[in-house]
Amino acid sequence: MRRFTTWITNNLDDMRNRISEWNERAAVFGVLVFGSMICFWAFVIFCLLPLIPALAPHLPVLLFISNSFQLALLPLLMVGQRIVSDKQQREAQKRMDIQEERATEDHTHLIDIHEAVFKHLTAQDELIRRLYDQVTSEEPPEIRASSMTDLRSMHAKGSDRFTK
């Protein structure tokens, strides 16, 4: 007897976990079965049984069976709905955590891109300043074009100003 009580004491948490897991599975199964349309129609048919004249003498038995189902299934459905809801909440939290990680990674990448573009634009600004200083120090050639076609032909020939 002593060995049995020691074994029970040592394995109590494991037994509780197994019983809890089994109860959760049964509750979820109950929600799936009794929350289906097939079960709904079965109960509708069961509710219509007292209308059959041959079953009228058995009305108290049918009422007892109906009340027993209600008393047994109501807590089962409530617990099953809570378990399903908790599972969905955990899954939603997990998805949200993944999305937050991705958003953080995307934000980091955007900051890196922003810094690279800023460096590029700073270097480009410096080159434009140098070109501007170089161009303004020389006498610009006169460019007169009467139409867009003249501008295109001047561009195709090239200009000394841009080829240096």
Structural domain includes residue 50? yes
Residue 153 lies in a domain: no
In a domain, 73, yes or no: yes
Q: How many domains does the chain have?
A: 1
Contact 161, 140 (CB under 8 A): yes
Whether the CA torsion 72, 78, 81, 82 is positive or negative: it is: negative
User: Domain range holding 94?
Assistant: 2-109
Identify whether 136 is part of a domain.
Answer: no
In a domain, 76, yes or no: yes
Task: Please state the pTM of the whole predicted model.
Answer: 0.51
Task: Judge whether 20 lies within some domain.
Answer: yes
* All residues at 6 or more sequence positions from 154 whose CB lies less than 8 Å from its CB, including other chains: 143, 145
Short-list 135, 137, 144, 143, CA closest to 164:
135
Is it the case that residue 11 has pLDDT exceeding 50? yes
Q: What is the pLDDT of residues 80-134, one digit of tens each?
A: 888 889 999 999 999 999 999 999 999 999 999 999 999 999 999 999 998 888 8
Structure confidence at residue 73 as a pLDDT band (50, 70, 90) = confident
pLDDT digits (tens, 9 = 90+) for 39-63: 899 989 988 888 888 888 888 998 8
* Average pLDDT over the chain, rounded to an integer: 83
**Of 164, 147, 151, 27, residue with least CA distance to 83:** 27
